């Protein structure tokens, strides 16, 4: 049985959602890191986790998935 989009999104942490929203605003990893007071590499890891959990291929696909599912 395949998980629903709601299932996939429920697996995201609060921080991953923050990063996803920042990516959707067009911010770079460096900009997100500065805004959240974390390392750019940590931002990249959060982005990787969001992509894996939402089964998306890249940042654009990740943002499109979030838009389609009323996350943004």
What pLDDT shows up at residue 32? 98
The pLDDT, as a whole number, for residue 11 is 85
Res 66: pLDDT: 87
Query: Which whole number is the average pLDDT over 27-39?
Result: 97
What's 11's domain CATH number? 1.10.10.10
Quick one: how far is CA 35 from the chain centroid?
A: 15
Reported pTM: 0.85
Mean pLDDT of 12-36: 95
- Count of structural domains, the chain: 1
Q: For residue 71, what pLDDT is reported?
A: 80
Cα–Cα separations (whole angstroms), residue 5 to 17, 26, 41, 58: 14, 23, 27, 17
Q: Does the structure show a pLDDT above 90 at 70?
A: no
Residue 65: CB atoms within 10 Å: 21
Range of the domain at 44: 5-68
Count CB neighbours of 66 within 10 A. 22
Tokens coding 32: 């997100």
What pLDDT is attached to residue 4?
Answer: 75
């Amino acid at each position: 049985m395949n998980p629903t989009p709601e299932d996939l999104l429920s697996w995201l942490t609060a921080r991953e959602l923050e990063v996803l929203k920042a990516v959707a605003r067009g911010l770079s990893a460096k900009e997100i890191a500065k805004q959240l007071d974390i390392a750019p590499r940590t931002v990249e890891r959060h982005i990787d986790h969001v992509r894996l959990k939402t089964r998306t291929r890249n940042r654009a696909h990740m943002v499109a998935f979030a838009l389609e599912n009323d996350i943004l």
